[in-house]
């Protein structure tokens, strides 16, 4: 192997892995994770109680990901919230580069290691967002790097699991991975088994060193095996072939790839590859998990890569010529650069799209803070974390993405009835004790809810921006006149949609142009301009704006035929 080859293949991997780090997803949990990190520093304790809701206020909060929250807050304090996309890319690249290096070590084939790592991130990419679950993917690959077909000192494993249990609940899956890696597949006997068992037991014991003790071990088990939990209806927990939620287009194909493991039954192949028992066991385990819940697809992809890499290395034995391998490495790097080229590495535009920042009621919350509005708010579930980040408990929610780490199931079921406009939904809101109602305009029955609450005579209008509206009970004391935010892009967009609704598309174009002058990547400003130009029948201008916005971030929304 040449030094050039050992540089080109990992470099191709780094660029390719980065190019898969641009999944657009509403990062609703991200906001409260950052806010929780801030709360830990404000209170000086990692034992947390709820200060952000009015349904669980003062209750103990099982924040088993507290260390992730601390890291988030330290990063945001140092570099700003928008640079969390850089944190994400750093973790993603580290994760799959570790996988690539591990696969090369066990196969001695750079092409096989690259292709299997690429397959793993291809199937897992739709689930890669700014959340602590990325630490489980990273730690899984670190565990593979440390232990796959080799030994490591016990203290390294103890340190890994001590950190992991405080980062993310996926540590429990990590213990299962540990078992598969420690089991003496190639040296069966009592003594090797006993040694592996004792190491596993020590790692299990160290996971008790967390703020919630043994409860942190029961919590992931409850999620995994309690199929009756209504929280399993949340999109990321649905089975992979059930409509709705996050979809991984490649999973339907790769779900059949474990059958390739039958090739290890062929003696001629087995003489070259050996039997990757760890990969076979992990693939079977994670396939069963992924078929139950789509959120496990990324770990299935990693496990499948471990199983397939020796086979692929055997199939690519014809690539013995070093010059040919280098040529393929250059092609791989070129392809990776081609994939990455349209995407920005600048934090602000990337953050705007990767977290769906545009989907949050920024201007509305600006107005609430400007006017000193405080109290209890029945808010859209996905906006709860954003309110925590922006208001730090000044607006206390009915429920949010912290789900059953803090809330009773009854609150969630009532919220779902409101979300789905089921009979009695308005009574639930009325009886909740909320002072305000915050809801999206264009989704989740927003228009119908707005009309019904206005018709009830018990609620009055407070503020509306491009994303949502805020209503208050008649009894709530409000300022005589609601002061409007000034000189912000989101305020310009709000005004633009008001002008559009008032029959002044040319004025809407002017406001959208001003907003895009400050933030050319702003998705809602782009949509405002395109909609206004379409109303005045200027198709060329629509295409021009779409092309300009697509250059800022290549989202399919701006693709033109």
Instruction: For residue 553, count CB atoms less than 10 angstroms from its CB and return exposed for 0-12, middle for 13-18, buried for 19 or more.
Output: buried
Query: CB of 207 within 8 A of CB of 217?
Result: yes
Q: Which pLDDT does position 232 carry in this prediction?
A: 66
Who's near 198: CB < 8 A, 6+ residues apart? none
Between CA 48 and CA 35 the distance in angstroms is: 12
Nearest to 148 by CA among 110, 173, 195, 183: 183
Q: How would DSSP label each residue in 421-467? A: T-TTHHHHHHHTT-SEEEEESSSTTHHHHHHHHHHHTSEEEEEE-SS
Q: Which pLDDT does position 478 carry in this prediction?
A: 95
Between CA 517 and CA 533 the distance in angstroms is: 17
Tokens 């009621």, residue?
361
CB atoms within 10 A of CB 549: 23
Q: Which pLDDT does position 152 carry in this prediction?
A: 84
Between CA 459 and CA 437 the distance in angstroms is: 9
Helices (H), 148-276: 154-167, 171-182, 190-206, 215-225, 251-254, 267-273
CB atoms within 10 A of CB 236: 16
Query: CB of 485 within 8 A of CB of 463?
Result: no
The helix (H) or strand (E) run that includes residue 512 is helix 505-518
212-236 tens-digit pLDDT: 999 988 887 776 666 667 766 776 7
Q: Which pLDDT does position 410 carry in this prediction?
A: 93
Q: Which pLDDT does position 352 carry in this prediction?
A: 97
In the chain, the N- to C-terminal Cα span, in Å, equals 46
CATH superfamily label, 489-558? Tetratricopeptide repeat domain (1.25.40.10)
Q: How would DSSP label each residue in 250-269? A: THHHHTTGGGGGGGGGSHHH
Between CA 33 and CA 39 the distance in angstroms is: 10
Query: CB of 71 within 8 A of CB of 34?
Result: no
Q: Do strands 375-379 and 395-397 pair parallel, antiparallel, or not at all (unpaired)?
A: parallel
Between CA 495 and CA 485 the distance in angstroms is: 11
Q: Which residues of 54-84 are buried (b: 16+ CB within 10 A; e: fewer)?
A: bbbeeeebbbbbbbbbbbbbebbeeeebbbb
Query: CB of 289 within 8 A of CB of 302?
Result: no
Per-residue pLDDT of the chain (561 residues; tens, 9 = 90+): 588 999 999 999 999 999 999 999 987 899 999 999 999 999 999 999 999 999 999 999 999 999 999 999 999 999 999 999 999 999 999 999 999 999 999 999 999 999 999 999 999 999 999 999 999 999 999 999 999 988 889 999 999 999 999 999 999 999 999 999 999 999 899 999 999 999 999 999 999 999 999 998 888 777 666 666 776 677 677 888 888 888 899 999 999 999 999 999 999 999 999 999 999 999 999 999 999 999 999 999 999 999 999 999 999 998 888 889 999 999 999 999 999 999 999 999 999 999 999 999 999 999 999 999 999 999 999 999 999 999 999 999 999 999 889 999 999 999 999 999 999 999 999 999 999 999 999 999 999 999 999 999 999 999 999 999 999 999 999 999 999 998 899 999 999 999 999 999 999 999 999 999 999 999 999 999 999 999 999 999 999 999 999 999 999 999 876
Q: Mapping DSSP to helix (H, G, I), strand (E, B) and coil, where does residue 485 land? A: coil
Query: CB of 176 within 8 A of CB of 133?
Result: no
pTM of the predicted model over 0.75: yes
Between CA 456 and CA 451 the distance in angstroms is: 9
- C-alpha distances (whole Å) from 445 to each of 110, 420, 490, 500 are 52, 8, 23, 22
What does the longest C-alpha to C-alpha distance in the chain come to?
84
Domain ranges of the chain: 3-347, 360-473, 489-558
Nearest to 380 by CA among 446, 475, 447: 446
């Amino acid at each position: 192997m040449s030094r050039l080859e050992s540089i080109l293949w990992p470099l191709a991997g780094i660029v390719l892995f980065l190019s898969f780090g641009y999944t657009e997803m509403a990062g609703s949990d991200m906001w409260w994770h950052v806010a929780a990190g801030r709360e830990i520093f404000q209170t000086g304790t990692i034992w947390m109680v709820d200060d952000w809701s009015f349904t669980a206020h003062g209750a103990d909060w099982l924040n088993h990901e507290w260390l992730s929250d601390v890291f988030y807050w330290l990063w945001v304090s140092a570099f700003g919230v928008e640079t969390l996309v850089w944190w994400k890319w750093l973790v993603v690249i580290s994760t799959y580069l570790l996988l690539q290096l591990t696969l090369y070590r066990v196969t001695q084939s750079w092409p096989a290691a690259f292709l299997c790592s690429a397959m793993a991130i291809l199937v897992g990419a739709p689930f890669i967002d700014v959340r602590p679950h990325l630490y489980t993917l990273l730690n899984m690959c670190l565990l593979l790097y440390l232990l796959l077909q080799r030994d490591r000192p016990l203290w390294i494993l103890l340190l890994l699991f001590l950190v992991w249990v405080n980062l993310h609940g996926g540590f429990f899956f990590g213990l299962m991975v540990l078992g598969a890696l420690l089991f003496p597949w190639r040296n069966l006997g009592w003594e090797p088994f006993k040694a592996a068992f004792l190491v596993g037991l020590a790692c299990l014991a160290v996971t008790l060193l967390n703020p919630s003790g043994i409860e942190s071990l029961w919590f992931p088990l409850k999620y995994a095996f309690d199929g009756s939990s209504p929280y399993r209806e949340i999109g990321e927990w649905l089975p992979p072939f059930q409509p709705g939620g996050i979809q991984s287009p490649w999973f339907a194909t790769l779900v059949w790839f474990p059958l390739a493991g039958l090739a290890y039954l062929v003696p001629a192949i087995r003489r070259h590859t050996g039997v990757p028992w760890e990969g076979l066991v992990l693939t079977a385990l994670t396939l069963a998990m992924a078929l139950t819940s789509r959120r496990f697809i990324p770990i299935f992809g990693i496990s499948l890569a471990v199983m397939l890499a020796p086979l692929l290395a055997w199939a690519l034995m014809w690539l013995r010529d070093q010059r040919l391998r280098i040529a393929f490495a250059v092609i791989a790097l070129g392809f990776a650069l081609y994939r990455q080229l349209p995407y920005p590495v600048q934090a602000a535009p990337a953050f705007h799209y990767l977290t769906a920042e545009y989907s949050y009621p920024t201007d509305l919350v600006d107005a609430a803070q400007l006017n000193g509005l405080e109290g209890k708010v029945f808010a859209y579930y996905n906006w709860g974390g954003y309110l925590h980040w922006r208001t730090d408990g000044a607006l206390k929610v009915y429920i949010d993405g912290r789900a059953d780490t803090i809330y009773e199931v009854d609150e969630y079921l009532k919220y779902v009835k409101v979300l789905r406009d089921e009979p009695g939904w308005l009574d639930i809101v009325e009886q909740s004790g909320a002072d305000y109602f915050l809801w999206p305009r264009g989704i989740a029955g927003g228009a119908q809810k707005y009309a019904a609450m206005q018709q009830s005579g018990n609620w009055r209008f407070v503020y509306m921006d491009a994303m949502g509206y805020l209503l208050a009970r008649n009894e709530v004391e409000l300022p005589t006149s609601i002061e409007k935010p000034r000189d912000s892009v989101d305020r310009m967009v709000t005004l633009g949609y008001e002008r559009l609704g008032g029959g002044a598309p040319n004025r809407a174009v002017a406001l959208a142009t001003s907003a895009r002058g400050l933030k050319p990547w702003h998705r809602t400003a782009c949509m405002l301009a395109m909609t206004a130009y379409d109303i005045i029948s200027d198709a060329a201008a629509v295409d021009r704006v779409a092309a300009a916005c697509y250059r800022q971030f290549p989202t399919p929304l701006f693709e033109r035929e």
